[in-house]
Amino acid sequence: MRTQVAIIGGGPAGLLLSQLLHLDGIDNVVLERRSRAYVEGRIRAGVLEPGSVEMLDKAGVGERMRREALHHEGIYLSFDKQPFRIDFKSLAGAVVTVYGQTSITEDLNETRLKMNGNLVFEAEDVSLQDFGGPHPKVSYRKDGITQEVICDFIAGCDGSHGVSRASVPETEIRIFERVLPFGWLGVLSETPPVADELIYARHETGFALCSMRSKTLSRYYVQCPITDDVADWPDARFWTELRARIPGDAAERLVTGPSIEKSIAPLRSFVAEPMRFGRLFLAGDAAHIVPPTGAKGLNLAIADAGALAAAIVSHYRNRDDTGLNSYSEQCLKRIWRAVRFSWWYTALTHRFDHDPFGARLQRAEFDLIVGSRAAAKTLAENYVGTFSSPSPG
């Protein structure tokens, strides 16, 4: 098979890149290791910055999002059950959109297939070759038959554990990582959300987050030891712990019900530098991971896809490689800003064991946000993404 761009990974970054390239007439193929049902069944984040909404609209996949999404003008930040509202509209002049990553993936898959996009699911034993030279190749096995894709560029959008980053020699890549000593236990339930906006709660027993996917589907999280198992958390224990950590009025409104999905996610910050290796470009979780506290992971993936698409289009249309040459540098500026915010916000809202000094600093930081419009404005601007660096192109 001959194509212009081989995209490894059929998550939001890979599918969005495929769609954007297609709209500019650039041939591409997406190779995804899992089945379509598996990819669309993954429960992930769903808070979108304005720039992400614009990018999805530009890709022609925003119709259902515009119809079904929720728009939030703020969040609640709670410290030991004392809530304070961060007003995005007045502080940052923008709002965020709540629309699940699962829905985004469904929309992208449906649109690509309607446009006869070349999506190969259950592509096994994917191997990247010769991306340091002018004629990279990707081989894979499908239904027992080995196939080869000859291309101009490879986009590695296959996540933290994918083959793309692992194909880069260790001497050519630098890894920055910090692992947190706790995780998030997440529960999805068919219950009405406890509030119209997200609640981030720091409590002496640990962090909690009240989120939602729709007006009838809630997503809740509590901080837990990373050594815990889902079996340690029956529904009754989860609801009791959540209720204890959130503000009193929210606790009284909380509607509980059977969990329809429950999982424990580790928290870490991870960045790989650079994001370009010859004709291989990394995007999304293949290049970076942030704690979900600041709602940046999906937005960074969308921004990477947009930047890489613009750079590739400029290469073919204008014979201009400025965007390709600056892709890594420009993306990393945006990524490190998000890493900084996500780490700061996680440090503000979570309980760290045996650290009374840190707890006092958290209290002082919360009081600063409550008492200083400038401090609250900084939080709001970073959360909604108005501090994001512009994408190349």
Catalytic residue among 22, 50, 72, 99: 72
Q: What is the pTM of this model?
A: 0.95
CATH number at residue 279: 3.50.50.60
pLDDT of residue 57: 98
pLDDT for 387: 52
Structural domain of 294 = 5-70+98-177+267-350
Does residue 63 fall inside a structural domain? yes
155-159, 160-164, 212-216, 320-324: least confident range? 212-216
The pLDDT score that the predictor gives to residue 391 is 42
Query: What's the structural domain count of the chain?
Result: 1
pLDDT at 112 over 90: yes
Please write the tens of the pLDDT for every residue from 67-108: 999 999 999 999 999 999 999 999 999 999 999 999 999 999
Mean pLDDT lowest for which of 55-59, 99-103, 249-253, 322-326? 99-103
| Active-site residue (options: 136, 203, 383, 392) | 383
In a domain, 141, yes or no: yes
Asked if residue 291 lies in contact with residue 37, where contact means CB atoms within 8 angstroms, the answer is: no
3-state secondary structure of 335: helix
E-strand stretches of the chain = 5-8, 28-31, 47-48, 70-72, 74-79, 82-87, 96-98, 118-120, 124-129, 137-142, 145-150, 153-156, 174-189, 199-203, 206-212, 218-225, 259-273, 276-277, 280-282, 288-289
Peptide bond into 274 cis (omega under 30): yes
Q: Flag whether 128 is in a domain.
A: yes
pLDDT value at residue 389: 40
Could you tell me if residue 35 is inside a domain? yes
Whether 364 is in a domain gets the answer no
* CA dihedral over 212, 213, 214, 217, signed as positive or negative: negative
Checking if the pLDDT of 176 tops 90, the result is: yes
pLDDT digits (tens, 9 = 90+) for 250-282: 999 999 999 999 999 999 999 999 999 999 999
Residue 45: the pLDDT is 74
Inform me whether the pLDDT recorded for 210 exceeds 60: yes
- Residues 221, 207: Cα–Cα separation, whole Å: 8
Which of these is catalytic: 292, 315, 327, 350? 292
**What is the structure's pLDDT at 41?**
87
Query: 336: number of CA atoms within 13 Å, CB side?
Result: 10
210 in helix, strand or coil?
strand
Asked if 81 is an active-site residue, the reply is no
Has residue 149 been placed in a domain? yes
**What confidence tens digit (pLDDT) does each residue in 367-393 have?**
999 999 999 999 999 999 975 443 433
Catalytic site includes residue 383? yes
Share of the chain above pLDDT 90, in %: 95
296 is catalytic: yes
238 occurs within a structural domain? no
Evaluate whether residue 151 is within a structural domain: yes
Query: How far apart (Å, rounded) are the C-alpha atoms in residues 316 and 216?
Result: 46
**Catalytic residue of the set 200, 220, 221, 327:** 200
Catalytic residue among 296, 327, 345, 350: 296
